[in-house]
Amino acid sequence: MTKSKYLHKLKELSKKPVFSSKEGREVGIPARMLAYFCSKGLVERVNRGIYKVKNIQLEEDFEWEDLTLTAMGISNGVICLISALCFYDLTDEIMREYWIAVPHTTTAPQRSNTRIIRMRNITLGQTEVKMAGQEVKIFDRERTIIDAFRYLDKEIAVKALQAYLKSDKKFRPDLKKLKKYAKVLKINLTPYIIAFTT
């Protein structure tokens, strides 16, 4: 009867692509039962504290699943730089590793295929997007462009800015916000903006 009760609760979680151990506790599944389900192959542990119910069909687009799971598994982590540029389609670089920003005072956690960037200002431009069915923290386009000039090869940063400045029906560049971020983070973008907009 006990197992049946927990299996019923597990079914609720199967509607999500992934769930945290906290979400498991919130629906009434204790840690020991979660470990039991993992041992029986009903649940897969995909990262520390992040799980997935196995053998279920979901309609979500999992193109960003690994990045999502990595970001969710890092406390206060924010998707940044190459990973954010790829998500916003502002680069032709290949995402060979996941780029995650953490507060400067944080000890950088060790994760496979992940580059941790410690930043002093982690709130400017921080937003949330839905990725692989989950809400994850990511820097907005403008912050990502500024950070590209701060941390990446200039060629990558310039190409990203060019791509950003090309408006379309889905997105229009916000030069006011871009200049504001540049001022806060002490990056002089004015020559590039003038070159690409005149």
Per-residue pLDDT, 55: 65
Q: Contact, 143 vs 135, CB < 8 A?
A: no
Q: Helices (H), strands (E): how many in the chain? A: 9, 8
Residue with tokens 């871009």: 178
**Residues in CB range of 188: below 8 A, 6 or more apart:** 182
**Contact by Cβ (8 Å): 160, 188:** no
Do the domain assignments include residue 60? no
34 with 116, same domain: the answer is no
39 in any annotated domain:
yes
Choice between 64 and 125, residue whose per-residue pLDDT is larger: 125
For position 60, what pLDDT does the model report? Answer: 42
Q: Are residues 113 and 161 in the same domain?
A: yes
Same domain, 132 and 35: no
Judge whether residue 137 has pLDDT over 90: yes
Q: How far apart are the first and last CA of the chain?
A: 72
**Which of 30, 53, 76 marks a domain boundary?**
53
d(CA 158, CA 154): 6
- Number of folded domains that form the chain: 2
Is residue 102 predicted with pLDDT exceeding 80? yes
List the single range of 7-11, 47-51, 64-68, 89-93 with lowest mean pLDDT.
7-11
Mean pLDDT, to the nearest integer, of 92-109?
90
Spatial strand order of the sheet with 134-139 comes to: 114-119, 98-103, 78-79, 134-139, 126-131
* Phi, psi values for residue 94, rounded to 5°: -90, 135
Q: Whose CA is closest to 23, among 13, 37, 11? A: 13
Q: What predicted TM-score, i.e. pTM, was given to this entire model? A: 0.70
Question: Is pLDDT of 33 > 90?
Answer: no
Instruction: Examine the domain organization and report whether 28 and 75 are in the same domain.
Output: no
Tell whether 106 is covered by a domain: yes
Contact 142, 161 (CB under 8 A): no
* pLDDT at residue 165, as a whole number: 93
Q: Which domain holds residue 29?
A: 2-53
Residue 16 sits in the same domain as residue 102: no
The answer to whether the beta carbons of residues 90 and 142 sit under 8 Å apart is no
The CATH number of the domain holding residue 13 is 1.10.10
Does residue 58 sit within a domain? no
In a domain, 44, yes or no: yes
Q: What is the mean pLDDT of residues 111-140?
A: 92
Short-list 85, 67, 79, CA closest to 156: 85
For the chain, give the mean pLDDT: 87
Question: Can you give the pLDDT at residue 5?
Answer: 64
